Amino acid sequence: MTDVEKIENSPSKIKYPLPLKGQIQLHNSALALAALEILQQQGWEISETAIINGMGKTKWPGRMQWITWKDHKLLIDGAHNPAAAEVLFPYRLEKSSTMLFSLFEYIAIR
């Protein structure tokens, strides 16, 4: 789990846990935090404790999820577009795994 200190260019000073794997999740969590800040500015009562707890309990099954099948470590991910696949590939290299692709719809691959 990563602890995120402060997101750049954000007025928030919240430090929160981030259980989601992958560098892109730092960006995604910053977007979620920015959305929460906008809601707070509009009068929504969302406490810092609620944000910290919510971020820490975040789960995303099928997103950079490791499983073991027949003594083989497999990385499961629902990368649904070329940009998501590009983000996934370096993570796969860090963990020395084999990559298996299954496409249900044509996606242009460069």
Q: What is the longest distance spanned by two Cα atoms in the chain?
A: 52
Residues 79 and 50 in one domain: no
Number of domains observed in the structure of the chain:
2
Residues 40 and 65 in one domain: no
Residues 100 and 69 in one domain: yes
Contact 88, 64 (CB under 8 A): yes
Contact 3, 17 (CB under 8 A): yes
Residue range of the domain that includes 95: 61-110
Query: Where among 38, 56, 74 does a domain terminate?
Result: 56
* Residue-wise pLDDT tens digits, 27-42: 888 899 999 999 999 9
Cα separation, 21 vs 10, in Å, equals: 22
Query: Where among 56, 72, 96 does a domain terminate?
Result: 56
Q: pTM of the predicted model, to two decimals? A: 0.62
* Residue-wise pLDDT tens digits, 38-59: 999 999 999 999 999 999 998 8
**Res. 4: pLDDT tops 50:** yes
Comparing CA positions, the residue from 80, 83, 87 lying closest to residue 101 is: 80
Residues 48 and 86 in one domain: no
φ, ψ dihedrals at 29, nearest 5°: -70, -35
